[in-house]
């Protein structure tokens, strides 16, 4: 049988870890508790994940500029002008293949609330307001999130898309860590709402079915010169 002193320390340790497990934020780990450093090995999740699987198919859809609420794009070496996702009022989504969906109200409003939160984040000062996740390899994809500043005019403005949209982009998005290459206004990790929204956007690249080039062409026309 272990000496009493060892038993006492063991019981104190178990009690401390149990208390920490109850009180600690969900995105922190025991490693954070022990080392005092933020945990960068966390798994992405969102209550809105699966929003397209819950949505209803919309066989016919004609997008308009005035209804656009959110767009997610991709720049990558193999896909320099990639379209990922668009949201239109009053609750329509178009995925990367051009399929249209009628979203559940909670999903539609919840994801747009994340987009509003992202708009209020500090500006990085970099090209396309880019948050750079630390990665071992270069040439990572850039996920771009565009939110209209107001209801879009019938035709794109001549001053360029920057006059119409608030843009926030993420270089090297990763579902297992958020550590930034360089801090941004006190942030050392990708902000949680931006991390969640980017992951949700990428779900629109994981759908099945054939491409609808007509809808994709119409969505690109709505977006304007954003690529």
89-110 pLDDT per residue, tens: 999 999 999 999 999 999 999 9
Residue 28 confidence (pLDDT):
35
pLDDT at 34 over 70: no
Residue with tokens 């000496």, as numbered in its chain = 3
Residue 41 confidence (pLDDT):
63
Residue 29's alpha-carbon distances to 20, 39, 69, 173, 176, in angstroms, are 10, 6, 36, 21, 13
pLDDT at 10 over 70: no
Mean pLDDT of 7-24: 41
146-163 pLDDT per residue, tens: 999 999 999 998 889 999
Of the given ranges (3-7, 178-182, 196-200), which has the lowest mean pLDDT?
Answer: 3-7
**Residues 212, 67: Cα–Cα separation, whole Å:** 20
Query: Are the C-beta atoms of residues 55 and 204 closer than 8 Å to each other?
Result: no
Return the beta strands (E) in the chain as ranges. Answer: 56-57, 68-76, 79-88, 92-94, 100-102, 130-132, 142-148, 165-171, 179-184, 187-189
Q: Which residues contact 66 (CB under 8 A, 6 or more apart)?
A: 151, 152, 154
User: 121, 93, 141: which is closest to 192 by C-alpha?
Assistant: 121
Mean pLDDT of 26-47: 52
pLDDT at 143 over 50: yes
pTM value > 0.85: no
16, two tokens: 């401390």
Query: Are the C-beta atoms of residues 215 and 98 closer than 8 Å to each other?
Result: yes
């Amino acid at each position: 049988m272990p000496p009493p002193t060892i038993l006492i320390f063991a019981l104190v340790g178990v009690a401390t870890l149990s208390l920490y497990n109850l009180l600690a934020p969900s995105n922190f780990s025991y490693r954070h508790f022990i080392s005092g450093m933020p945990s960068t090995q966390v798994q992405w999740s969102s209550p809105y994940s699966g929003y397209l699987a819950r949505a209803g198919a919309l066989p016919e859809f004609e997008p308009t500029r005035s209804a656009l609420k959110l767009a997610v794009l991709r720049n990558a070496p193999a896909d320099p002008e990639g379209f990922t996702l668009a949201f239109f009022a009053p609750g329509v989504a178009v995925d990367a293949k051009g399929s249209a969906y009628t979203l559940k109200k909670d999903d539609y409003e919840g994801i747009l609330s994340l987009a509003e939160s992202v708009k209020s984040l500090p500006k990085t000062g970099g090209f396309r307001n880019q948050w750079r996740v630390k990665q071992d390899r270069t040439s990572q994809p850039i996920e771009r999130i565009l939110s209209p500043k107001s209801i879009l005019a019938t035709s794109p403005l001549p001053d360029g898309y920057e006059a119409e949209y608030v843009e926030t982009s993420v270089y090297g998005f990763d579902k297992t860590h958020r550590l930034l290459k360089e801090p941004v206004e006190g942030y050392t990790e990708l902000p949680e709402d931006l991390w969640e929204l980017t992951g949700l956007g990428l779900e629109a690249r994981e759908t099945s079915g054939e491409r609808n080039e007509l809808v994709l062409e119409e969505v690109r026309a709505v977006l304007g010169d954003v690529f």
